[in-house]
Amino acid sequence: MTNIDGDIWNKFKRHCRSQQQLNPESTILETIRKLQFLERQDLDLPTSTKDQIYDHFATRLEHGARYSALNHYVKALNRWHKFPEPAFSSISIKLKRNQ
């Protein structure tokens, strides 16, 4: 499991502000909180595959999480995967409800 260090978080903040044009006073801080929560849930941000991420969300749904709540984590992960740090994979995540 790779822990993200402060230097990477600072680079990510700068990227979010300059490239993704996110609000530094709210959206960026909330995004980092969500990502750090996922890290504490043993989701390895730099190396997780799409399948591992979907498995994580499936488990949370099985334990009563709502799609609307998980959507905030999906947005945070997608922001993370726009971050061009060389060692990180670039993937796009979407949650769909069964209809």
pLDDT tens per residue across span 5-46: 889 999 999 999 999 999 988 999 999 999 999 999 989 888
Domains of the chain, by residue range, sit at: 6-80
Confidence tier at 64 by pLDDT (50, 70, 90): very high
Question: CB neighbours (10 Å) of residue 93?
Answer: 17
Report the share of the chain in percent with pLDDT over 90: 62
Distances (CA, A) of 60 to 13, 34, 41, 84: 27, 14, 11, 28
Task: Categorize the per-residue pLDDT at 86 as very low, low, confident or very high, splitting at 50, 70 and 90.
Answer: low
